[in-house]
């Protein structure tokens, strides 16, 4: 089971969005997901920590 899957809540751990709470909208591949916080955007799973 993947640590980051659709519908899961996560915290961004790197970049200028660090500390922002987001929700995973869609899994693109093994490395990237679409997340929705203030905006919907692509994020690396390496930069997300599940809540």
Can you tell me which residue has the tokens 């692509």? 42
pLDDT band with cut points at 50, 70 and 90 for residue 4: confident
pLDDT band with cut points at 50, 70 and 90 for residue 3: confident
Contact between 42 and 34 (Cβ < 8 Å): yes
Write down the domain spans for the chain.
Answer: 9-50
Q: What is the pLDDT of residue 1?
A: 45
Q: Over the stretch 5-25, which tens digit does the pLDDT of each residue have? A: 999 999 999 999 999 999 999
14-49: burial string, b at 16+ Cβ within 10 Å, e else: eeebeeeebebeeeeeeeebbbeeeeeeebebeebe
Pick the CATH number of 9-50 from 3.40.50.970, 2.30.30.30, 3.40.50.10140, 1.10.260.40: 2.30.30.30
More confident residue, 36 or 2: 36
């Amino acid at each position: 089971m993947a640590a980051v899957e659709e519908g899961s809540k996560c915290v961004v751990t790197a970049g200028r969005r660090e500390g922002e709470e987001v929700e995973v909208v869609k899994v693109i591949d093994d490395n990237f997901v679409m997340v929705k916080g203030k905006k919907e955007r692509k994020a690396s799973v390496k930069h997300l920590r599940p809540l």
